[in-house]
C-alpha cells in the first residue's frame, strides 16, 4: 500500500488522499519513489473536476514528479538514479505522481540536472519547463534581447513567473500582464521592467493594433492572445502555451500576412526527449536558484486538494511544491 491523491468517478466525482494498493498500478518499466510533486494548472483542473482532464478512472493525480528509481527494466535507468518526469498523459490516462510511488516508462524520464534537487525540479515542474520551451521558441525564431519588449501574460502564475525570471536574466525587457496590481513588487523582483493590467488585453479588440511586442509568452488564449498578436511588431514571435482565458482565438490573418508575425505553439506534454533535455539543460544554466526559491510555496500531500481549489480560484502565485517523502 502507498499514499496517493486518488480521483474517482464511479458514483459522482471525489478527490481524496488515501492508501492505494500497489497491485493497482499500471505496468511500466521503471518503478520510482516520488520525493516531490507539484501543482500545475492541469492538476488543478483534474483535482477540482473543472475540466474533463482525466480519461481513465480511478486516477492518481499529478502530471509531474521527481525522486529516485527503485527498480528498472529500462536500459537507460538503474536503481538509485534521480529522475524528473513531466507530462506524457500521467495523471490523465495513467496514474500520476501525487503519490509515494509511481510506475512510469523509462523513455519518458529525464536525468535530473545536477544543478537541481528534486524539490527544485518540482518548483520548476511542467510550468517552468513550458516557460523554458517558450523562451527557446523566441530565441529560435530570432527574438534577441535588444529587439524590444517581450510580453508575458498570466505573470504571477507558474509559467509566467519562471518565464519572467528567465527572460530577465537573459537581458530582455519584460512587461508582465497581471490582474493582481498588488503583486507588482514580486514581478519586478523576478525581472519584469513594467507591469500591464491584464484588462487591457482581455476584452475583444481590433484585429490590427499599434505595434509594441517583439515577443510574447501567452498562457491565456482567447482575446488576450488575439490582442497580443494584433500588437506584435513586424517579424515578432508569439509563443502560445495555455488557455487560462479560453480556447477560442478571435483574430484574423492580418498580423501574419502584413507583419510576418509567427505564432509558435508550445506543447510540453508529448515533446520528444531531445527537446525536454535541451529545456532542462537551459534551465540549469539560466534559471537563478534564488529567484526560483522566491516563487515556491511548499505543502504536504494532505493539503494538495484544498490548494488545487485555491489555484483554480486564481489566489495562488508562483509554484506550489508538494512534499511526498517524509
Domain assignments of the chain as residue spans, ordered by start: 2-112+292-323, 126-265
Query: How far is 294 from 290, CA to CA, in rounded Å?
Result: 6
Peptide bond into 305 cis (omega under 30): no
Q: pLDDT tens digits for 137-147?
A: 999 999 999 99
State the average pLDDT over residues 233-260.
96
The answer on pLDDT for 260 being more than 90 is yes
State the average pLDDT over residues 162-169.
97
Q: Which of 33, 24, 27, 21 shows the shortest CA–CA distance to 79? A: 33
Q: How confident is the model at residue 247 (pLDDT cuts 50, 70, 90)?
A: very high
* 81 φ/ψ sector (left φ>0, alpha ψ -120 to 50, else beta): beta
CATH architecture of 126-265: 3-Layer(aba) Sandwich (3.40)
Q: pLDDT tens digits for 105-144?
A: 999 999 999 999 999 999 999 999 999 999 999 999 999 9
Question: Contact 32/65 with Cβ under 8 angstroms?
Answer: yes
Query: How far is 242 from 155, CA to CA, in rounded Å?
Result: 12
Q: Which residues have a Cβ under 8 Å from the Cβ of 317 and sit 6 or more positions away?
A: 156, 157, 161, 180, 183, 186, 295
2-112+292-323 has which CATH code?
A: 3.90.180.10
Q: Is 114 helix (H, G, I), strand (E, B) or coil?
A: coil
pTM (two decimals): 0.92
How much is the mean pLDDT over the chain? 95
Amino acid at each position: 500500500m502507498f499514499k496517493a491523491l486518488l480521483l474517482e468517478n464511479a458514483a459522482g466525482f471525489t478527490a481524496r488522499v488515501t492508501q492505494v494498493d500497489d497491485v493497482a498500478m499500471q505496468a511500466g518499466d521503471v518503478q520510482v519513489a516520488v520525493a516531490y510533486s507539484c501543482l500545475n494548472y492541469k492538476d488543478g483542473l483534474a483535482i477540482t473536476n473543472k475540466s474533463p482532464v482525466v480519461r481513465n478512472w480511478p486516477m492518481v493525480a499529478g502530471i509531474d514528479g521527481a525522486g529516485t528509481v527503485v527498480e528498472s527494466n529500462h536500459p537507460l535507468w538503474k536503481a538509485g538514479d534521480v529522475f524528473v518526469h513531466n507530462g506524457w498523459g500521467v495523471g490523465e490516462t495513467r496514474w500520476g505522481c501525487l503519490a509515494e510511488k509511481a510506475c512510469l516508462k523509462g523513455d519518458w524520464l529525464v536525468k535530473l540536472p545536477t544543478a537541481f534537487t528534486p524539490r527544485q525540479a518540482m518548483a520548476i515542474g511542467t510550468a517552468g519547463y513550458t516557460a523554458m520551451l517558450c523562451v527557446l521558441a523566441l530565441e529560435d525564431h530570432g527574438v534577441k534581447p535588444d529587439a524590444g519588449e517581450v510580453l508575458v501574460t498570466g505573470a504571477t502564475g507558474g509559467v509566467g513567473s519562471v518565464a519572467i525570471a528567465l527572460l530577465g536574466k537573459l537581458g530582455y525587457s519584460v512587461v508582465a500582464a497581471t490582474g493582481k496590481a498588488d503583486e507588482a513588487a514580486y514581478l519586478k523582483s523576478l525581472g519584469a521592467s513594467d507591469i500591464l493590467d491584464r484588462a487591457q488585453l482581455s476584452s475583444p479588440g481590433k484585429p490590427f493594433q499599434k505595434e509594441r511586442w517583439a515577443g510574447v509568452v501567452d498562457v491565456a488564449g482567447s482575446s488576450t492572445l488575439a490582442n497580443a498578436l494584433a500588437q506584435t511588431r513586424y517579424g515578432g514571435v508569439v509563443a502560445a502555451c495555455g488557455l487560462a482565458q479560453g480556447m477560442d482565438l478571435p483574430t484574423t490573418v492580418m498580423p501574419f500576412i502584413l507583419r510576418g508575425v509567427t505564432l509558435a505553439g508550445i506543447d510540453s506534454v508529448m515533446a520528444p526527449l531531445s527537446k525536454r533535455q535541451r529545456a532542462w539543460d537551459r534551465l540549469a544554466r539560466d534559471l537563478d536558484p534564488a529567484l526560483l526559491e522566491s516563487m515556491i510555496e511548499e505543502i504536504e500531500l494532505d493539503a494538495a486538494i484544498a490548494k488545487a481549489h485555491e489555484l483554480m480560484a486564481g489566489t495562488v502565485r508562483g509554484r506550489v511544491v508538494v512534499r511526498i517523502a517524509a
